[in-house]
Structure 1
Amino acid sequence: MRIDKYLWCVRYYKTRNMVTEACKKNQVTVNGQVSKPSKEVFPTDKITFRKDQITYIITVLDIPQNRVGAKLVDIYRKDETPAEAFEHLDMIRLSKEHYRKTGTGRPTKKDRRDIDDYGNDFIDEEDELD
């Protein structure tokens, strides 16, 4: 089975076109060699690919006939991705929240307009009183 079809069948990518693009960017390797989308995959092959800032390492156990359900994916692959990779992604998400929480810091364009409108409401009331 082709590498692009295999990664699509075991649900790592949503479309085969996404796998093809990853192969063209040299993000997918089979047994340590950069692969094209048409590279054939066999059981016991080790596939390494980068997706969403995580380097996944999987071993092919069996070849599926077509796209499989999420519960059946473990029959066809063994995930050897280290847990540190997922922890690193969590740390990146937490660090982004640390620097600026939503609603704090410099006002957005909408916030600025709301502030201006708030001040204009008081000015209009004073004009009416005069």
Structure 2
Amino acid sequence: MQPDPRASIRLDKWLWHARFFKTRSLAARQVSSGHVRVNGKRVSKPAHAVGAQDVLTFVQGDAVKVVRVRDPGTRRGPAPEAQTLYEDLTEPAPRDTAPPAPKYEGKGRPTKRDRRKLDLDKRGPLE
């Protein structure tokens, strides 16, 4: 079944249907604060109409999401149904390359001397 290209839905409602936000009011607040772009243009009205082939850019948590609307949808269904409403264009985030936290090899809390040693190992002697 091909989605009707003329069909449209409110932006806040679509974000809620697609399960990007837990409540519709959270989606509306995100749009109202100007943190959502539709086809590269900033949108500040939650009632802005979106339809098939529109590209949305918004922040969700710590990541920037870029999605293409496939279908306006008719209800907020289960997650597998919600995932059919969009195509995720977000590039995968690079793996965190930070070194792991140093481990204290002893038992209990480190002494002041051990703590200094851990700090020197982490920063290096010249800092």
**Which TM-score applies when normalising by structure 1?**
0.65
Distance 1:52 1:62, change over 3 A: same
Normalized per residue, which structure has more helix?
Answer: 1
Q: Report the Cα distance in structure 2 between the residues aligned to 1:39 and 1:98, rounded to whole angstroms.
A: 46
Where do residues 62-77 of structure 1 align in structure 2 (5 Å cutoff)? 62-77=71-86
The match for 2:87 is: 78
Alpha carbons 2:18, 2:82 under 8 Å: kept:
yes
Moved over 4 A (4+): none
The root-mean-square deviation of aligned C-alpha atoms, in Å, is: 2.6
What are structure 2's unaligned runs of at least 5 residues? 1-8, 103-107, 111-127
Q: Which amino acid aligns with 1:56?
A: K
Normalized per residue, which structure has more strand?
Answer: 2
Q: Report the Cα distance in structure 1 between the residues aligned to 2:31 and 2:78, rounded to whole angstroms.
A: 24
Distance 1:98 1:71, change over 3 A: same
The match for 2:12 is: 4
What displacement does 1:98 show?
A: 3.4
Aligned-residue sequence identity (percent) comes to: 27
What are structure 1's unaligned runs of at least 5 residues? 106-130
Deviation per residue, 1:80-127 (Å, 9 max, x gap): 11102xx46xx39x78x838xxx978xxxxxxxxxxxxxxxxxxxxxx
The match for 2:48 is: 39
**Which TM-score applies when normalising by structure 2?**
0.67
Alpha carbons 2:28, 2:46 under 8 Å: kept:
yes
Distance 1:66 1:28, change over 3 A: same
What displacement does 1:27 show?
A: 1.1
1:14 aligns with 2:17: no
Q: Which amino acid aligns with 1:19?
A: A
